[in-house]
Amino acid sequence: MISTQEHQSLNTKRHLSPPEIQAHLEGVEYIIMAAPATRNDRKAPIHFTIFLNTTERLPEEVQTAVLEKFAKQYKITNIEDLFSQLDGVAFSMTTQETPMPLHLFKQEDKRALPHTIMHIIDFEGDSNEFKEAKEQDLTGWSYSYN
């Protein structure tokens, strides 16, 4: 199930604490998030972030295989500006049913917000499977459980 809401209306009610994050991620394999690409020099219409529930450093060939799996599964093409590494992730409660993952790429955010470490694959791409992000400027995320 993908939770979607207008991009500008995703107001944070509160952030999960470290124990809440740990409990929340129990059984989660990954989270995929799709949002409209907003950069002026964007190369594709959708900004994807895949949050893998692991703190292990993944070898380059595993990272490539994982990205290829997601690209095939979600029919993602035109992949550009790829970022793939361990980084900080906070979770915020919004009006949606499931907490929204937030990639914390700024050091000040990592200092200010409770978070965990996950392997993040972040990129721009295109897919007709995410029409809400592509055509309606909505942001959504979906959790996959093992």
> Does position 72 have pLDDT exceeding 80, yes or no?
yes
**Spatial separation of the C-alpha atoms in residues 124 and 54, rounded to whole Å:** 22
> Does position 66 have pLDDT exceeding 50, yes or no?
yes
The two beta strands, 46-52 and 14-15, are unpaired
Write down the pTM of the prediction: 0.89
User: For residue 38, what pLDDT is reported?
Assistant: 86
> Does position 50 have pLDDT exceeding 70, yes or no?
yes
Question: What is the domain range of residue 113?
Answer: 3-145
What is the per-residue pLDDT across 95-129, written as a single tens digit (0 to 9) for each?
A: 889 999 999 999 999 999 999 999 999 999 999 99
Q: Dihedral sign for Cα 117, 122, 127, 132, please.
A: positive
User: For residue 3, what pLDDT is reported?
Assistant: 43
The SS3 of residue 145 is strand
Look at the chain and report how many structural domains it folds into.
1
Closest CA relative to residue 35, chosen from 45, 21, 24: 45
Mean pLDDT value of segment 90-96? 93
Cα Rg of the chain, angstroms:
15
What is the per-residue pLDDT across 7-33, written as a single tens digit (0 to 9) for each?
A: 445 688 899 999 999 999 999 999 999
Mean pLDDT value of segment 30-41? 92
Average pLDDT, the chain: 92
